[in-house]
Amino acid sequence: MKYIVVYVTVSSRAEGEKIAKALLKEKLAACVNIVDNVQSFFWWKGAVDSGRESLLIIKTKKARFKALVKEVKAQHSYDVPEIIALPVVDGSGDYLKWIEGSLK
């Protein structure tokens, strides 16, 4: 597993754009999609809570994950931000080469 997709939820589109630009500037991500108006339900402080968020879908390499987490936490407003990585088990060769080239 060389490539990963990372999900990060944020409080607003503006926060998402700030994090996306920081990740791209530092070459920690090849691409960041922002999906607005995600309705989230979750456990927080012993109770079920909910809220509207934006979802970042980040394409990167596993080797960049630790640095990506550090950068997201430095920019994020949540005490415990969602930062989860899913493996890319296969993909278009051209797209994977583009990710590789974007992170150099």
The one-character DSSP state at 12 is S
Residue 81 has a pLDDT of 97
pLDDT in tens, 47-83: 999 999 999 999 999 999 999 999 999 999 999 999 9
Residue pointed to by tokens 């394409």: 59
**Each residue of 33-72: b (16+ CB within 10 Å) or e?**
eeeeeeeeeeeeeeeeeeeebbbbebbbbeebbeebbebb
Residue type, 91: G
CA distance 51 to 40: 5
Q: 1-40, pLDDT tens digit by residue?
A: 799 999 999 999 999 999 999 999 999 999 999 999 999 9
pLDDT at 104 over 90: no
> Could you give all domains of the chain from N- to C-terminal order, each with its CATH number?
3-102 (3.30.70.120)
Q: Is 19 exposed, middle or buried (0-12, 13-18, 19+ CB in 10 A)?
A: buried
Rounded to an integer, what distance in angstroms lies between the CA atom of residue 18 and that of residue 58? 13
Which among 84, 76, 79, 82 has a CA at the least distance from the CA of 15? Answer: 76
